[in-house]
Structure 1
Amino acid sequence: MKKYNTIIGLASPALAAAALIAYSITRVWAWWNTLLLVVGLLGLAWFIVDYYKSREKQISGRSVKQGANFAFQALIVVLLTAMLAFISTRRHFRLDLTKGQLYSLSSQTVNVLKGLDRDVTLKLFVKKGEESGISDLLDEYSYRSPRLSYEVIDPDEQVDVARRYGVTQYGMLFVEAGDRRESVTKISESNLTNAIIKVSSDRQKSVYFLTGHGERSVEDKGPEGYATAAGALKKENYTVRNFNLVRSRRVPDSATVVVIASPKSDFAPGEADSLKAYVQRGGRLLILLDPESPDSPRELAASFKADVGRDMVVDASGFGQLFGAGPGMPLVQSYDKQHPITKDFSVMTFFPLASSVTPAAEKDGWTVTELLKTSAQSWADTDFSGGKVSFDAGRDREGPISLAVISSKKTGDHTSVAAVFGDSDFAGNGYFNQQGNGDLFLNTVNYLADEGELISIRPKKLEDSRLTMTPGDVTTLFYLVVIAIPLIMIALGVGFYLKRNRD
């Protein structure tokens, strides 16, 4: 019997170790890994109990018994700790306690990962031992979706694989889904999520910007241009194009969303009818106007039951001044919490020189939702041509003032949708990256394009959260950590030692 117990004592740790080593190599936990681990742990427990009982008969000294008992308890603690550590790698819960949830994925990324309907593989090419920072991010991605996995490859050890992927530098990452592949050279949550969207999306969606009336240009990199907005759309896997209705006579069939960004002149005959026909057959339209916008774009918005006021919204709350903005740049913090565009929105937005946009009294079957409003300390000023504004109780409208609405109408088997904003500056290069302006523009386009998984706030930026300490604080911390705490521990140890000797 003693011989068999010795065999069990030697074989049991080997079986448990084999299960764990096999998993660490293959990263696949099969049924036989569980079997080996359970048998190994049970055998080891049997051996320890049997050994302790047999030794108890032979050992009568008190100190030896205490030592054996302590060793047994320590071994049990070590084994339990090892088991909990292993289980935590398989079933764990992540908690980010940093301000702003800096180490958590954004809701946009989580939604994309939850919506994956195909397997996605990430291949990271980096020197062995230098992947720790990046692998933490990849772990977070794989934790969120069982359809996503990643592999770390050392290009110096697997030269053929690196050559096949066209690796030109360390740190390159490739995202694959089926026969589609995207490379990421600057690894960040935003870039990685966009690459996942590209390889997992079935078709390319296009955003067409109307031209020919002095609209804001997607090629213009100046403060009033839309180059930044166009670049952000491309990162979201959209194709951005210009089109001229006078030439084409019809909105292209490939247009997912059409954007009209602050036209300076009226439409030519037939253009408005072409845009209405596009929306009526299920098209999606985004109209961005300003206080100086001409009549025909306003009439087009009115056909979708959105009345763009001939006014300028003034914000007298003073909040905008905290960010260098005057009363002509309303600050918005009030959003519709039911609509998908703004339901999770909690970031401030700015609208330089904006007009009011309100639902029409007669909606004729259209559902019109006010997306955002200014503060109660604002008003819509109808006499702003002189450059000076003041509230006129007889003519001006008191706040809160609606600055954007979205209209939808179900017709047959399709839904027509048009979003109308009373400002175009908020999405220009000069303001796109201010607070939540860019997010609001992208959320609106994503909703119009039926990209529901993209409706959320973009990945967060690192904020300055340094700890500022005075010389007195540093001295206090030094005495506490370097002197006081060690002295307390030494005093406690000496006290316990003397008390034990007296006993």
Structure 2
Amino acid sequence: MRDDSIILTRSDIGQFASIAFALFALIAALSYFYAGEVRPHTLVLIALAALSLIAWALITPSEFVGFFTGRQARRGTVAVFSSVLVIGIISMAYLYVERQVIAYDLTETREFTLSDSTARIIERLPRDLRIIGFYSAENIAVREMDDQFWRQYEVLSAGRIQRIYIDPVEQPAVAETYGAQDGDIFIAFVDDNGEIIPQSISYVPMIDKHERDMSLAINRLLQEGSFAAFFDISHGQRSLRDTSSGGLSIAGELLGLNGWRVVEFDLQELVANDQPIPDEASVVVLSRPRQPFAPATIDAIDDYLRRGGSLFIMADPVFADSGFLLEDSAFNTYLWESWGIRALDAVVVELLPGLDNPSPLDVVSIQIFDSPITANVNLPDEPDSYAMFRLARALEISNTPPVNNGRAVLSSNMSYAETDLVALGLRDEYDFDEGEDLPGPHTLVGFAVDAETNGRIVLVGDSDFATDGQIGAPPGNAQLFFGSLNWLTEFEERITFGFQPSAIAPPTIFISPSQLDQVSFFVIFLVPGLVLLLGAGMWFYRSRR
């Protein structure tokens, strides 16, 4: 009669212990790789692996020593360990690759690559940076789309920029600390211990251009407080505190969001106290002054410009005998003689048909010149990016200037400049009169720069475009406002503000975290486990024969 009983020898038990050690050690290592930290179950697996190793050494000490000294172990122990080792290497490689940011742009035009402007910004990072995104489970598709961009920053910065995601539903306290809503993005510097520096937390306004929005936010964080715009309020100008449609409160808020310090100051008081315009003023803004400038005020401005200062003038038409920047006024004469630009006592009338302007007195930026001032105005693929001026004043640019000057925005060839301001102002009457009115095109925005002192001026024949009621309608108004400040302070050259992005949305396959976990379980545990079980079963079957 055949005896089918299974007899386990000391050697068999030792081999089982060795295999158990290999499996427990492998699973513990994979658990650590998968979780990224040592968790309680990882410690349990390590303990089981240690007990298996001790059991192996105590039960079959000769085979234990023989395995590690290179002698052939019995019944395929080396083969089992080799299989476990190969599976472990493959699984760990999968986990490593799955967590790494690996991106290759195979397009000929590098459409999915961050621009050189972004690269220059990242090079100036003084410390590591975190991108902090708040996404709920319902917003996972948006998170995965955004992640395609944020991972490019991590690659380009060689890991100095990293991204973390927080579910505001599961962690409401953290979201409240940031003041975050679902889908909000923040950036912040981290200290040497990898902790976020609270004072550096900055909200990232996301519009539609991922690279531009993020890179500008990093720029603002880098240059926080480095630029100061001084708004004069001593000559009846528009106020940053005025929240009506005619105020500049939105312009001031936008400047603050872009890292500027915004200051209202009294130019007349400085002049009366014989004090110069401060050097800390990156630009002095004159928004629709109503009073003419005294000679001492003009001297103070000239001194500031000779020290390399910048002046942003927004001058509305004057319908009275006295006002700011009349054609024969002292300040207008100074601008013409020293800078080759001046305002005319004339209002531009736009007669080009087919424009999206309510009346001929609403002048659109028909012609622009290539300049940082107009970098984001009249964009070919954005029909609403034009600028519009209400009652725009005609400007004159000298063809033989004492310094470098030029035109940034012009009206059309069908426009003209109305010189009868009495009829226009009192009766809203205007009509082209040969010999009196000035045929177009006419300059609406002009600029000048002294190459020796780097003093700069931008003169705009309108101030309404920057007011709360019109700075966002059309969007080109805000772009012109910031483009002017851009050029005046060399913000463009120093921190590459206002560039156009090269990276666009790459093709994306959405995989939820649960689906990714299922793939990981299949690749890391299920397939290797089945292979090991099959191998162990085959070994056990043959060992009994």
1:341 is displaced (CA, Å) by: 2.1
Whether the 8 Å CA contact 1:114–1:144 is kept in 2: the answer is: no
**1:324-349 C-alpha deviation (Å, 9 max, x unpaired):** x2111111121112x22224532321
**Distance (whole Å) between structure 2 residues aligned to residue 7 and residue 310 of structure 1:** 93
Whether the 8 Å CA contact 1:319–1:331 is kept in 2: the answer is: no
**Distance (whole Å) between structure 2 residues aligned to residue 315 and residue 191 of structure 1:** 35
**1:256-287 C-alpha deviation (Å, 9 max, x unpaired):** 11110111111234111111110111001111
| 1:399 equivalent in alignment to 2:440 | yes
1:225 is displaced (CA, Å) by: 1.4
Q: 1:167 to 1:258 in 2, by over 3 A?
A: closer
Pick from 339, 351, 371 the counterpart of residue 389 of structure 2. Answer: 351
Whether the 8 Å CA contact 1:112–1:197 is kept in 2: the answer is: no
Whether the 8 Å CA contact 2:132–2:165 is kept in 1: the answer is: yes
| 1:257 equivalent in alignment to 2:296 | no
Unmatched runs of 5 consecutive residues or more in structure 1: 29-88, 459-503
The amino acid of 1:290's aligned partner reads D
**Distance (whole Å) between structure 1 residues aligned to residue 181 and residue 360 of structure 2:** 50
Pick from 497, 503, 506 the counterpart of residue 454 of structure 1. Answer: 497
Whether the 8 Å CA contact 2:314–2:459 is kept in 1: the answer is: yes
The amino acid of 1:176's aligned partner reads A
Q: 1:191 to 1:140 in 2, by over 3 A?
A: closer
Pick from 401, 404, 416 the counterpart of residue 455 of structure 2. Answer: 416
Match of 1:115 in 2: 121
**Distance (whole Å) between structure 1 residues aligned to residue 373 and residue 349 of structure 2:** 25
Cα RMSD (Å)? 3.6
Match of 1:49 in 2: none
State which drifts further: 172-181 or 395-404: 172-181
1:233 is displaced (CA, Å) by: 1.2
Match of 1:445 in 2: 485
Pick from 194, 213, 218 the counterpart of residue 196 of structure 1. Answer: 218
Pick from 226, 237, 246 the counterpart of residue 259 of structure 2. Answer: 237
**1:30-51 C-alpha deviation (Å, 9 max, x unpaired):** xxxxxxxxxxxxxxxxxxxxxx
Whether the 8 Å CA contact 1:105–1:140 is kept in 2: the answer is: no
Q: What pairs up with 1:65-144 in 2 under 5 angstroms?
A: 90-92=103-105, 111-112=117-118, 114-116=120-122, 117-118=124-125, 119-126=128-135, 130-143=139-152
Q: 1:348 to 1:129 in 2, by over 3 A?
A: closer
Aligned residues: 380
SS of structure 1 residue aligned to 2:485: helix
Q: What pairs up with 1:331-342 in 2 under 5 angstroms?
A: 331-337=364-370, 339-342=371-374
| 1:216 equivalent in alignment to 2:238 | yes
Whether the 8 Å CA contact 2:114–2:152 is kept in 1: the answer is: no
SS of structure 1 residue aligned to 2:277: coil
Q: What pairs up with 1:56-67 in 2 under 5 angstroms?
A: none
Q: 1:450 to 1:215 in 2, by over 3 A?
A: same
Whether the 8 Å CA contact 2:375–2:483 is kept in 1: the answer is: no
SS of structure 2 residue aligned to 1:310: strand
Match of 1:21 in 2: 95
1:194 is displaced (CA, Å) by: 5.2
Whether the 8 Å CA contact 2:445–2:460 is kept in 1: the answer is: yes
SS of structure 1 residue aligned to 2:373: coil
The amino acid of 2:409's aligned partner reads L
The amino acid of 2:226's aligned partner reads Q
Whether the 8 Å CA contact 1:182–1:198 is kept in 2: the answer is: no
**Distance (whole Å) between structure 1 residues aligned to residue 387 and residue 172 of structure 2:** 50
The amino acid of 1:335's aligned partner reads I
The amino acid of 1:425's aligned partner reads D
SS of structure 2 residue aligned to 1:406: strand
The amino acid of 1:22's aligned partner reads Y
**Distance (whole Å) between structure 2 residues aligned to residue 176 and residue 415 of structure 1:** 34
Match of 2:11 in 1: none
Whether the 8 Å CA contact 2:189–2:201 is kept in 1: the answer is: no
The amino acid of 1:334's aligned partner reads Q
Whether the 8 Å CA contact 1:246–1:268 is kept in 2: the answer is: no
Pick from 157, 164, 188 the counterpart of residue 151 of structure 1. Answer: 164
State which drifts further: 220-229 or 437-446: 220-229
Q: 1:291 to 1:158 in 2, by over 3 A?
A: closer
**Distance (whole Å) between structure 2 residues aligned to residue 238 and residue 392 of structure 1:** 46
TM-score, structure 1 length as denominator?
0.66
State which drifts further: 201-210 or 399-408: 201-210
Q: What pairs up with 1:292-331 in 2 under 5 angstroms?
A: 292=318, 293-294=323-324, 295-302=329-336, 303-320=338-355, 322-323=356-357, 325-331=358-364
TM-score, structure 2 length as denominator?
0.61
Match of 2:431 in 1: 390
State which drifts further: 224-233 or 416-425: 224-233
Unmatched runs of 5 consecutive residues or more in structure 2: 1-75, 191-196, 379-384, 502-545
SS of structure 2 residue aligned to 1:241: strand
The amino acid of 1:422's aligned partner reads G
The amino acid of 1:391's aligned partner reads F
The amino acid of 2:361's aligned partner reads G
1:247 is displaced (CA, Å) by: 1.4
